[in-house]
Structure 1
């Protein structure tokens, strides 16, 4: 299963002269930093701003807090970006990992087995994350999970990557989105009109109710259901195509930033247009949602890549890189570390010193700090959780 392994840690020297070499054979500092930025929000960063909103009652902070919650159904908030951004970055990593192994002479059949193994391990970890290790009836087990979707989407996207050229990968990306749109547009659950996209009436949720064992997260719908994993493959494919651009293209690094930024803007415009017929909806991972989060992901990576890997401003990003290099570890850590207990043991005095109401804010900040210190210790020991 997963292993803790020692890996080399980049020294942090300015990358300006070595950008092309890093693109070809090394880890992208910007990718680790962006992954850490992404994970920051679910390891407690979001709670900090929600706590500020609660204690101040400020309309501004309440507006920020709303963005750190998922919409009930249709629509888009910032918090909807976190999951697909992580999946997108998993795709970006593929040319640096699987692609490099191909160049070293590994056969595609060997890499296929490794990809399938990784995908299934993530599915298993997702089931454990949802349900723990206790024995219980199958009817009480939730099989859909965040890690499971990452595992399946990563696996199928990497299989496409292994056996197709870049042009075909682009076709796969677009075809999956179009097929999923047509599937939901011309079908529905029994008793509902074709194209019904309500939670009860959409065909994806209905299909999950028919084929998924165990329980669904919302009873009649699971936001990480099997059917809506299909378009998530396109999210991972977009990451792979972006990784191809960064690692294999001969164009200048600054031009790569321009391509990512322009493509991101185009995707955002197309997402708004498609939203008129196929609403942006994370629960269903609609095709318009894929374009929306894909556009933002491209813009964020373009920004991080330019500032960190091209301009060489790395020091500010170290905080996020420490998180990003052990992202899965911090995600599952709550199942074997009582972070609340640890935080109270170390910093309860700080909350008491601050007093009401801002003591709660201090404790929310210290919780993130405690988790970061744990990750920093792992980073200094060069120990990272790999799947």
Structure 2
């Protein structure tokens, strides 16, 4: 196994930082509209089956985690790091990512007004713990990283390919052929009914309805069973990372392969969609293959523009975002919760308004049509976080796990 040269490493990291930065900035854009009642369709998730550009963001991030995991492991072994030290780092990082997600889900650790009117602060704390969502985006990333990194650390490429196939085909079989307890109906007959799927039953049984996504209450889009194929997305990223690190190949050869394999995976995913629909909320096998292919094509495009023809002047904002993704995710999540739910006050008519609602109505909706105002607020949120991350970047501060 050859290690990347210094020049390749710098170019590779720039391409990855740009790809990752685009993904993180996109995440902030779609997660922070001025109002959820007025959003452009491409900035919304697909209602159930199908996909929009928004549905590419989460799998892209997992795909990138797979790439960086492979490259990091390769670099650590090249410099002679102890295998047990590598293992400890994998276990620690996976646990910390999961823990950060769990803490973000529980913040601010009490039920805020207007929930539980008349309740004491202690009762609000207890209620929050009783309704603390266990799974979530960072929790899924933590589990997928842990499993994918351990596989990359200990298994061969051939074994990883077999495991990937087993995950995707096994999940397909579980979700379509196994009768769902309580109903006895095989999953293929209820794929359009979120709360009747095997994955929903497992989440309710193991996690409990009080600890699921509040937007559904009977199932969780980052639930237990659907995390299995998400590990497959991570593995696909490790394959891409292994390919772009092959120094015996020219940049042209690496790009051609990434474009070709990515396009093929997209077609396979679209064909699989006919029998097991592309669906982010249950992370279907067709969704894994399609989004991994789209991720490979996007990565190849970044490498071609940045490393191939040298167009780099446009990359700086995404480099800033891409070098500090954990700070962007955690910081923006905490900020959004504070300004939309925690920082509220009563208005003259007795109703309550949040800081986010006040800014949106005063600065944006007062003169723009509602949908344009909502989009402008989201763009402003992304710009604000660019300034925050730029300040951190100038000082060399990166939140690492």
Distance 1:67 1:43 in 2: 14
Q: CA deviation at 1:148?
A: 0.4
Query: Partner residue of 2:112?
Result: none
Equivalent pair of 1:329/1:385 in contact (CA under 8 Å): yes
Change in 2 beyond 3 A, CA 1:22/1:247: farther
1:35 maps onto 2:20 in alignment: yes
User: Which residue, 202, 208, 227 being the options, matches 2:203?
Assistant: 208
Tell me which moved more, 234-243 or 199-208. Answer: 199-208
Task: Judge which range, 338-347 or 250-259, deviates more.
Answer: 338-347
Q: TM-score under structure 2 normalisation?
A: 0.81
- Which residue of 177, 180, 200 maps to 2:171? 180
> 1:209 & 1:349 partners in 2: Cα distance?
42
How far apart are residue 128 of structure 1 and its match?
1.1
Alignment of 1:1-387 (within 5 A): 21-24=6-9, 28-44=13-29, 65-134=40-109, 135-136=125-126, 138-190=129-181, 191-196=183-188, 197=191, 198-213=193-208, 214-217=210-213, 218-334=216-332, 336-337=334-335, 355-357=367-369, 363-387=377-401
1:147 CA displacement = 0.2
Equivalents in 2 of 1:347, 1:274: separation in Å?
Answer: 42
Count of aligned residue pairs for this structure pair:
357
Deviation at 1:85? Answer: 0.3
- Contact kept? 2:63, 2:236, Cα under 8 Å: yes
Note closer, same or farther for the CA distance 1:311–1:21 as it changes in structure 2 (3 Å cut).
farther
Q: CA deviation at 1:195?
A: 2.8
What's the offset of the Cα at 1:276?
A: 1.2
Contact preservation (8 Å) 1:343, 1:363: no
Separation in 2, partners of 1:186, 1:348: 50
Q: Quick one: structure 1 residues 22 and 172, their matched pair in 2 at CA, closer, same or farther if it must change by over 3 Å?
A: farther
- The SS at the match of 1:183 is helix
Task: Summarize the Cα distance change of 1:345–1:313 in structure 2 as closer, same or farther, 3 Å threshold.
Answer: farther
Measured in 2, the distance between the counterparts of 1:296 and 1:106 equals 34
Structure 1: stretches of 5+ with no match in the other structure = 1-18, 55-61
Are the counterparts in 1 of residues 171 and 285 from structure 2 also a CA contact under 8 Å? yes
Does the CA contact (< 8 Å) of 1:188 and 1:201 recur in 2? no
Structure 2 unmatched runs, 5+: 110-124, 344-354
Q: 211-220 vs 109-118, which deviates more? A: 211-220
Residue 184 of structure 1, CA deviation: 1.5
The structure-2 alpha-carbon separation of the partners of 1:375 and 1:346, relative to structure 1 and needing over 3 Å to count, comes to farther
Give 1:38 shift. 0.8
Structure 1 residues 155-198: Cα deviation after superposition (integer angstroms, max 9, x where no partner): 10000001112222222222211111112122132214223323
3-state SS, counterpart of residue 384 of structure 1: coil
Find the residue that maps to 1:226 and give its secondary structure. Answer: coil
Structure 1 residues 145 and 350: CA distance shift in structure 2, 3 A? closer
Moved over 6 A (4+): 339-350
Return the alpha-carbon distance in structure 2 between the equivalents of residues 339 and 33 of structure 1: 29
Alpha-carbon shift at residue 288 of structure 1 (Å): 0.3
Over residues 38-58 of structure 1, what are the superposed CA-to-partner deviations in whole Å (9 max), with x where a residue is unaligned? Answer: 11122236767x98x95xxxx
